[in-house]
Amino acid sequence: MDQPSPSRERGVRVQLSGVRRTFVGEAGEVEVLTGVDLDIDSGSFVALLGPSGCGKSTLLRLVAALDRPDGGSVSVTRGEPASQAPIAFVFQDAHLLPWRTVLDNTALPLELTGVGLTERREAARRELSRVGLADAEGRTPAELSGGMRMRVSLARALVTRPRLLLLDEPFAALDELTRARLDDQLRALWSELGMTVIFVTHSILEAAYLAERAVVLTPRPAQIVLDRTLALPSRRDASLRLEASFAHEVRILQEALERGGA
Ligand SMILES: Nc1ncnc2c1ncn2[C@@H]1O[C@H](COP(=O)(O)OP(=O)(O)OP(=O)(O)O)[C@@H](O)[C@H]1O
């Protein structure tokens, strides 16, 4: 259903070197990440897998500069300062404003940066049509299904034309069929737009279906137990899930999770 993007220069390179992060809570220190090294090429699609609580969200937050490491370094570059590389974040909860229409929810990031009404609505319409929601622009979030809300969340993330898209278990709360559709849509968007994508998921099947490369973390403190470029075709559709090559990759990821002690 999609081809690899010809425009990978739209992405950014993400480098983590010796990243450590420890939180201090009531129960004392919790070491979450310990010496994580990761180098993600511009325009690639990486899935991040690991057991619950191992530090996946922490790692994404560090990449988004929403948090700072205690040791090591995180850099997001495209031959220019990180501040000029827009990053968008999609969470498991769509986090839409209930009193706003779909169109004005989607336009919100542009509104916050001072883009005028006509221009931001035009951009929001473009992204809504990209995710197949052109007809829903006048509805409010309460009038949408969970899958539609998540598509609005994706459109809102895309409206800033991010060079780096970070997704933290975005489809985990959805039914299987909706999730599979959104997986396809996300791959198509990535293919078309060429941004770098880091996708956190608990699902081995989803990771193998979506990503070019899968990174598997151990339980806390997280270290990388497997970093693998998946030997799968770039063209993916539902039939891939029935292929022996897909089953082979799934098994490798499963074994890595088990080896890590998940
Ligand atoms: N701000 C914080 N203060 C204290 N502890 C924190 C903070 N943020 C995360 N932690 C702890 O760090 C650990 C890793 O959390 P994180 O959310 O990164 O894991 P995760 O792999 O994304 O988990 P899940 O798959 O369940 O979403 C957890 O034990 C969590 O309680």
Reading the chain (262 residues) residue by residue, the pLDDT tens digits are 444 444 556 788 999 999 999 999 888 999 999 999 999 999 999 999 999 989 999 999 999 999 999 999 999 987 555 555 689 999 888 899 999 999 999 999 999 999 999 999 999 999 999 888 999 999 999 999 999 999 999 999 999 889 999 999 999 888 888 889 889 989 998 998 899 999 999 999 999 999 999 999 999 888 999 999 999 998 898 899 999 999 999 999 999 999 876 5
Atom of ligand 1 nearest to the CA of 217: 21
Per-residue pLDDT, 173: 85
The verdict on whether omega for the bond into residue 109 sits within 30 degrees of 0, i.e. cis, is no
User: Is residue 66 in contact with ligand 1, taking CB distance under 6 Å?
Assistant: no
Q: Note whether 19 and 74 are within 8 A (CB).
A: yes
Per-residue pLDDT, 5: 45
Report ipTM for this prediction.
0.96
Question: How does strand 224-229 pair with strand 164-168?
Answer: unpaired
Question: How does strand 87-90 pair with strand 71-77?
Answer: unpaired
User: Is residue 216 in contact with ligand 1, taking CB distance under 6 Å?
Assistant: no
Per-residue pLDDT, 135: 95
Considering the entire predicted model, what is its pTM?
0.92
Atom of ligand 1 nearest to the CA of 50: 21
What residue owns the CA closest to ligand 1's atom 1? 23
Ligand 1 centroid to 59 CA: how many Å?
10
User: Is residue 50 in contact with ligand 1, taking CB distance under 6 Å?
Assistant: yes
Ligand 1 centroid to 54 CA: how many Å?
7
Where do the structural domains in the chain lie, given as residue ranges?
Answer: 1-49+79-85+180-188+198-262, 87-161
- Which residues 6+ apart lie within 8 Å of 18 measured at CB? 35, 36, 37, 71, 72, 73
Which among 22, 26, 32 is the best mutation to test ligand 1's pocket, defined by most ligand atoms within 8 Å of the CB? 32
What residue owns the CA closest to ligand 1's atom 14? 55
User: Is residue 56 in contact with ligand 1, taking CB distance under 6 Å?
Assistant: yes
User: Is residue 32 in contact with ligand 1, taking CB distance under 6 Å?
Assistant: yes
Class of domain 1-49+79-85+180-188+198-262: alpha beta
Within 13 Å of residue 216, how many CA atoms lie on the same side as its CB?
23
Ligand 1 centroid to 20 CA: how many Å?
14
Task: Count the Cβ atoms, other than its own, within 10 Å of residue 141.
Answer: 19
Q: Note whether 45 and 211 are within 8 A (CB).
A: yes
What residue owns the CA closest to ligand 1's atom 25? 52
Q: What is the DSSP letter of 42?
A: T
Per-residue pLDDT, 120: 96
CA–CA gap between residue 249 and residue 246 (Å, rounded):
5
